[in-house]
Structure 1
Amino acid sequence: MTSWVILPLASLLALLLAGSPARAQTGTCPPVSNIPVQTGFDFDRFANGTRWNVIQYNKIIPIEGLDMEVVKSDVSLMFSRDPNDTMTVNLAGRVRLASSLAFCLKLEGTVEEGNPEHPGKLRQSYYNPLKDQYLQFNFWVLYTDYDNLTVVYACEKTLGDGTCDPGSTFIWTLSRGTSQSPAQKTKVQELSSSVCLDVASLRQMNHTTACPMT
């Protein structure tokens, strides 16, 4: 297994530009258990043998043992099934440690359905060689059109009232391309607000030269 860890989306991935998710301006944050995901999510249609590029994100899930801040670009994911019918994910991205030091890194992981009744509630698992253990995190598909836009959510810590700890709320937008249309941006804003995250906290991922997946 490739010994690199980023994520989302690892991302998914301690490539960490921390952002502070903000609660929505109006309304009450829903309990995490009540957050709806993509109805009838179809993993194979979602995978489709084509990479998904990370376009926007509020922050990257931190990786224990890798605490340095780095600049990331060209992060993308490719989902598939292996010969044993296991759902897998390959993640690749460019990491810049200094102005003169940038390189592509890769990570291989597996994907599991966290809830059979809600197949869009996925969970990713990557091996972290820095700690000789696995990094796992939620990867809920709030919305996908399977062709050009996917919005992914993760909550890694809930509060006593069942809502997500604001510091543990993660959201990523994915595209088969490298940009989003005005209509897609509106959809992202709606979904971000529905999970109490201010769309203004989202950071843009630059895509100039794609990293190889293999």
Structure 2
Amino acid sequence: MKHSVYIVVATLITLIEQIYARSCVVDSFKVKEDFDIQRYGGTWYAISKKDPEGLFLQDNISAEYTVDEDGTMTASSKGRVKLFGFWLICADMAAQYSVPDSAVPAKMYMTYQGLASYLSSGGDNYWVIDTDYDNYAITYACRTLKEDGTCNDGYSIIFSRNPRGFSQAILRIVRQKQEELCMAGQFQSVLQSGAC
């Protein structure tokens, strides 16, 4: 009898783990419906972030998104980066965005380059998970996937139009989206002191 109970419990635990893992499958993440790239343009300030592996902007991060009439978007970003483990300097990045599937304009691909030799260049997915265009934007990228479709190396940035942050109502929305991205508790605040 005890053996049967253990089998039932083990089966239930396995099912719960599978359900949880499925909810964290990157392809199941919802992005902003009817994303309007024109409204997204303008200045955004990073309020919190979950970094990927490797060198990443530390603080005072802002991005100026420019959208051409044809919908092509570019960005000029800046922020402080830590070099050699102790030296904080302001750095500039540039990025270009393309939309691989016009049916899902919130799922973009970003090609970026550092404007100094010590900064990296490359490309990542750039998904706008949610935004109200006037107050907040939640972006997400997964650099590598695990075999089960969950993210192995991902990052997310929570942006605000105001460098001082959000109201409590918007914080509730942001926290819910962090849960949906399976990143709750992984974010760190981004200092906005005007250093860059």
TM bucket, shorter chain: 0.7 to 0.9
Aligned residues between the structures: 176
Distance in 1, matches of 2:167 and 2:155, equals: 22
The one of 37, 51, 70 equivalent to 1:59 is 51
Report how far residue 72 of structure 1 moved: 2.5
- What TM-score, normalized to structure 2? 0.76
Measured after TM superposition, the shift of residue 106 of structure 1 is 1.0
Q: Who is 2:27 aligned against?
A: 33
Which residue is equivalent to 1:46? 40
Aligned partners of 1:171, 1:58: CA distance in 2, in Å? 5
Q: Unaligned 5+ residue runs, structure 2?
A: 1-16
For the residue of structure 2 that corresponds to 1:110, the secondary structure is: strand
State the Cα distance separating 1:60 from its structure 2 match: 4.3
Report the structure, 1 or 2, having the larger strand content: 2
SS of the residue corresponding to residue 201 of structure 1 reads coil
CA contact under 8 A between 2:95 and 2:113: conserved in structure 1? Answer: yes
Against the structure 1 CA distance between its residues 131 and 181, is the aligned structure 2 distance closer, same or farther, given a 3 Å change threshold? Answer: closer
Cα distance in 2 for partners of 1:58, 1:132 equals 19
What is the match of residue 141 of structure 2? 154
Matches for 1:1-214 after TM superposition, within 5 Å: 27-28=20-21, 29-47=23-41, 50-60=42-52, 62=54, 72-81=58-67, 86-95=72-81, 97=83, 102-127=88-113, 130=117, 134-165=121-152, 168-178=153-163, 179-198=165-184, 200-209=185-194, 211=196
Distance in 1 between residues matched to 2:177 and 2:90, nearest whole Å: 31
Give the deviation of 1:144 after TM superposition: 0.3
Change (3 A) 1:134 1:192: same
Aligned to 1:196, the other structure's residue is in SS state coil
Q: Which runs of 4+ in 1 moved over 6 A?
A: none
C-alpha displacement at 1:97, in angstroms? 4.8
> Quick one: distance in 2 between partners of 1:107 and 1:130?
11
Q: Is the 8 A contact 1:58 1:172 kept in 2?
A: yes
Tell me by how many angstroms 1:160 deviates.
Answer: 2.0
Give the residue type in structure 1 aligned to 2:179. Answer: S
Q: C-alpha root-mean-square deviation of aligned residues, in Å?
A: 3.1
Asked whether the 8 Å contact 1:71–1:97 carries over to 2, the reply is no
**Aligned equivalents of 1:32 and 1:77: distance in 2?**
25
Distance 1:106-1:170 versus aligned 2 partners, 3 A rule: same
Higher relative contact order (CA 8 A, sep 6+): 1
**Cα drift, residue 94 of structure 1:** 2.7
Shift of 1:134: 4.2
**CA gap 1:80/1:208 in 2 versus in 1, 3 angstroms:** same
TM-score (normalised: structure 1): 0.71
Bigger share in helix: 2
Distance 1:42 1:95, change over 3 A: same
